[in-house]
Amino acid sequence: MFRVGIGFDFHRLKEGKKLVIGGIYIPDEKGFVAHSDGDIFFHALTDALLGAIGYGDIGELFPDTEDKWKNADSSIFLKEANRIVNTAGYEIVNIDGVIILEKPKIKPYREKIIENTANILKIQKNQIFIKGKTYEKLGELGKGLGAECRVVVLLKRKI
């Protein structure tokens, strides 16, 4: 039996903040404004995993009102979502994500992000794919005021 999950995340970008996507530090003058490290890929992926089994969402499990999640490494959320999915009797078939960021380009970091995510989830690199897109300078996100991520995950029941 298969189950599909979708995840979305958005964070504002600001000068002097750290830009971390998929647990990989990306040097840029701007970074995420967030309670945790603001990792849009890990947040969207965490929500997709939890949503696929109807467990809840990242905000319920890790409230941004709690001090212990301040500046948290978002791999913690992802690891916990993966543990919940596995405990529920499911395993990941594949993950596909879109990172919408005006700059810098995601492609030079793609391999690192995929490798890091595969290590955290204990799956193969070829089960994960991500691509970067832009809003072609249109609107607020096109001006680089924020970045978003959309992720789809497919799970299957473990035999």
- Contact letters for Mg ion, residues 14-53 (x by CB under 5 A): -----------------------------x----------
Least distance between Mg ion and beta carbon 9 (Å)? 4
CB nearer to Mg ion: give 46 or 90.
46
**CA distance from start to end of the chain:** 10
Query: 9, 37, 47, 102: which one contacts Mg ion (CB under 5 A)?
Result: 9
Quote the CA–CA distance of 136 and 42 in Å, as a whole number: 24
CB nearer to Mg ion: give 34 or 85.
34
Residues 6+ apart with CB under 8 A from 149: 7, 8, 9, 10, 21, 40, 41, 43, 44, 97, 98, 99, 100
Least distance between Mg ion and beta carbon 35 (Å)? 8
Quote the CA–CA distance of 141 and 146 in Å, as a whole number: 5
Residue, CB closest to Mg ion: 43
DSSP-derived letter for residue 92 is E
Least distance between Mg ion and beta carbon 68 (Å)? 16
**Chain residues that interact with Mg ion, rule: CB under 5 A:** 9, 43
